Amino acid sequence: MSFAGMSDLRELYQEVIFDHNRKPRNFHEMAEADRVADGHNPLCGDQLTVYLRLADDVVADVSFIGHGCAISTASASLMTEAVKGRTVAEIEALFHDVHAMLTDAAPEGRDFGKLQVLSGVREFPARVKCASLAWHTLHNALTGGGTARTE
Amino acid sequence: MSLERNWAADFPILARPVRGKRLAYLDNAATTHKPEAVIEAERSFYRESNANIHRGVHWLSQHATDLYEGARERVRGFLNAAHADEIIFTRGTTEAINLVAWSWGRVNLQAGDEIVITAMEHHSNIVPWQLLCAQTGAVLKVLPIDDAGQLQLEACEQLFGPRTRLLAIGHVSNALGTINPLARLIARARAVGARVLVDGAQAVAHLPVDVQALDCDFYAFSGHKLYGPTGIGVLYGRRELLTAMPPWQGGGDMILTVAFEGSTWAEPPARFEAGTPNIAGAVGLAAAIDYLSGIGVAAAAAHQDALLVQATDEIRRLPGVRIYGTAEHKSAILSFTVAGIHPHDLGTILDSEGVAIRAGHHCAMPVMTRFGIPGTARASFALYNDERDVAALIAAIRKAQALFGVEAVA
């Protein structure tokens, strides 16, 4: 039973979300990127581009640009912090676990760290796609897929 | 503002709380709620009158046919069409416009012909014409709008020419609320011999419509924005045009004779209603028209306009609010942004306060592009709204501003 009230709203809009919305981290283009992917949510118009620079199997640098709601911007910003320095395999595993956390239930034993704040969207089904857009785009950048779409 | 009668009491859904709060439903441009009379008409049809139409010799079939054709006559009266056979039932406005594009458009347009639309059209009055242009080589011309969201009439005049075959125009903009100056534009289209289609989806619950006075060739609307059911809509078409138009869907009920060597078509409106139609929906739509006519479209509009004025005045006093669509002639739609809060975040926070609005591009992406924004928040009013809904809207926006810490942003 999903019944979002004021307390659920506070769960969704935590200070970390506001902070990353106002001051998104790694928010810039990257000329030396070797992987780039676009993400688009046609329903709400959210649009972003994710840039990656790989060193062997490790994401040496990651950044994004675009525009969207607070949830989508904060999710992208938090994501760049979470994946920098990780291996492609680790990031793919994280992508699947974050997706599970946003839509269903978080996998047991996974410590999401700061990303935990994103779990609040679970009570707002209409907003899940906002939080997941950046992650789908990152996934496409790593796997060579086309434009990511969440709707 | 005091109501002569509490119209909200006629709408059962308004009594249910949402998210533990009194529901302030301000998403009426998306769809309106249904009065008890409409709900009962559909229920009663299935309990008392259900049968297929136009084909049974049995009593129930004749009864259902009478109800369906009676609904057509009520729509005729509502639009003041000259003849009931000028009324075609469709799934909605979108299907009505597609019908004209597929049937009228494919036999009347050639490469180089021009279709004139406006920069404020809903996607459903853009995309069918783009598909038609791709098929025929016709060209789309777009009437520009100014910063207030009104057509720039001087520039518009020049877009009509000897190749103009059709003007397809919204009566009221769903994203901006603008009421378009149809009389002047239709006269302009007539002067170059063009046909005129009016998308009335946002107009029928707010403006009395007289298709003969308008002098349009086609008028499309949806039942569900008129307190009627979803899945039922109307295309009005001038009789001499409909008679000359080919079918666009084949099937039962639209034929005169069928043989493997070839088939012949029924006269309009049956020619354009292949297959078993939404009979209960048509009956429900007739009940909605009866309901609204009992109140009077003009009386409902006066109430909705008063709410729009009040909401506009109050929202303007909030810091950081910008209104999109400030035309002189406006219907009950208030499109706005709040500095520092994305429309979707605003929509979620308002929802938690029981205030239902639309957030996004409102299926009018070119309007958003014109104003350089990804979307707006949109509050839209119906006859059952009142001052409490406006107060809830304003209070919820204040709450969102407090949550986002943007009260001081001006």
Q: Across the interface, do B351 and A4 touch by the CB < 8 Å criterion?
A: yes
Give B316-335 as a 3 state SS string: HCCCCEEEECCCCCECCEEE
We report the CATH number of the domain holding residue B365 as: 3.90.1150.10
Asked whether B26 and B381 are in contact (CB, 8 A), the reply is yes
Matching residue, tokens 């139409």: B53
Residue B124 lies in a domain: yes
The average pLDDT across B189-217 equals 98
Sign for the CA dihedral angle at A135, A138, A143, A144 comes to: positive
Q: Which residue from B345, B349, B374 is facing A45, i.e. has the nearest CB?
A: B374
Residue B335: count other Cβ atoms within 10 Å of its Cβ: 30
DSSP letters for B198-249: EE-TTTTTTS---HHHHT-SEEEEEGGGGTS-TT-EEEEE-HHHHHHSPPSS
Are B159 and B243 in a shared domain?
yes
Are B141 and B83 in a shared domain?
yes
- The helix/strand/coil state of B279 is helix
Residue B360 forms contact with A (CB below 8 Å)? yes
Are B223 and B364 in a shared domain?
no
We report the CATH number of the domain holding residue B152 as: 3.40.640.10
Mutation pick from A2, A3, A6, A73 vs chain B, by most beta carbons of B within 10 Å, is A6
Are B380 and B301 in a shared domain?
yes
- Name the amino acid, one letter, at A16: V
Are B369 and B393 in a shared domain?
yes
Residues in B touching A3 (Cβ below 8 Å): 19-20
Q: How far apart are CA B116 and CA A60, in angstroms?
A: 53
What phi and psi, each to the nearest 5 degrees, are found at residue A138?
A: -60, -45
Residue B288 lies in a domain: yes
Asked whether A45 and B361 are in contact (CB, 8 A), the reply is yes
Are B321 and B348 in a shared domain?
yes
How many angstroms separate the Cα of B22 from the Cα of each of A70, B30, B236, B316, B342?
Answer: 27, 20, 39, 24, 24
pLDDT single digits (tens) A3-28: 456 678 888 999 999 999 999 999 99
Of A77-91, B176-190, B234-248, B255-269, which gets the smallest average pLDDT?
Answer: B255-269
Mutation pick from B19, B338, B342, B376 vs chain A, by most beta carbons of A within 10 Å, is B342
Percent of chain B exceeding pLDDT 70 equals: 98
Q: Across the interface, do B349 and A13 touch by the CB < 8 Å criterion?
A: yes
Mutation pick from A1, A12, A13 vs chain B, by most beta carbons of B within 10 Å, is A13
At A79, list the tokens: 């994501």
Q: Which of B294, B325, B344 is the last residue of a domain?
A: B294
pLDDT single digits (tens) B89-128: 999 999 999 999 999 999 999 999 999 999 999 999 999 9
* β-bridge mates for residue B13, sequence order: none
Are B25 and B71 in a shared domain?
no
Residues in A touching B20 (Cβ below 8 Å): 3, 5
DSSP letter, residue B228: S
Q: What's the predicted TM-score (pTM) here?
A: 0.93
Residue B410 lies in a domain: no
Residues B356, B359, B365, B369: what is their CA dihedral angle, to the nearest 10 degrees? Answer: 140
pLDDT single digits (tens) B286-313: 999 999 999 999 999 999 999 999 999 9
Report the chain A residue with the minimal C-alpha distance to residue B363: A43
The closest of B200, B194, B199 to B241, measured between CA atoms, is: B194
Q: Across the interface, do B348 and A12 touch by the CB < 8 Å criterion?
A: yes
Q: Which residue from A8, A18, A69 is facing B344, i.e. has the nearest CB?
A: A69
Average pLDDT for chain B = 95
Residue B2 lies in a domain: no
Are B61 and B209 in a shared domain?
yes
Predicted pLDDT at B330:
97
Q: Kindly give, in sequence order, each residue whose CB lies less than 8 Å from that of residue A114, ignoring residues fewer than 6 positions away.
A: A16, A78, A81, A82
Q: How far apart are CA B257 and CA A109, in angstroms?
A: 70
How many angstroms separate the Cα of B290 from the Cα of each of B69, B84, B295?
Answer: 15, 17, 9
Residue B409 lies in a domain: no
The residues of B that are catalytic are 363
Q: Which of B236, B261, B294 is the last residue of a domain?
A: B294
Residue B351 forms contact with A (CB below 8 Å)? yes
Are B307 and B189 in a shared domain?
no
- Name the amino acid, one letter, at B150: Q
How many angstroms separate the Cα of A9 from the Cα of each of A126, A150, B107?
Answer: 13, 22, 55
At A147, list the tokens: 């434009």
The closest of B86, B157, B159 to B116, measured between CA atoms, is: B159
pLDDT single digits (tens) B129-146: 999 999 999 999 999 999
What phi and psi, each to the nearest 5 degrees, are found at residue B323?
A: -95, 135
| Secondary structure element (H or E) that encloses residue B290, with its range | helix B279-295
ipTM: 0.88
Residue B309 lies in a domain: yes
Query: Which structural domain range is residue B310 located in?
Result: 7-30+296-404
Predicted pLDDT at A14:
92
Count: domains in chain B: 2
Q: Across the interface, do A44 and B360 touch by the CB < 8 Å criterion?
A: yes
DSSP letters for A106-144: PPTT---GGGGGGGGGGG-GGGHHHHHHHHHHHHHHHHT
Q: Which of B260, B276, B294 is the last residue of a domain?
A: B294
Are B272 and B377 in a shared domain?
no
Distance from CA of A106 to the nearest CA of B (A): 23
Are B245 and B380 in a shared domain?
no
At B50, list the tokens: 């259900």
Residue B359 forms contact with A (CB below 8 Å)? yes
The average pLDDT across B164-177 equals 98
Q: Which residue from A5, A12, A45 is facing B375, i.e. has the nearest CB?
A: A45
In chain A, what are the domains? 6-149 (3.90.1010.10)
Q: Across the interface, do A3 and B19 touch by the CB < 8 Å criterion?
A: yes
Matching residue, tokens 């909401």: B311
Q: How far apart are CA B188 and CA B194, in angstroms?
A: 9
Predicted pLDDT at A121:
92
Are B212 and B343 in a shared domain?
no
Sign for the CA dihedral angle at B345, B351, B357, B363 comes to: positive
Residue B405 forms contact with A (CB below 8 Å)? yes
Distance from CA of B387 to the nearest CA of A (A): 24
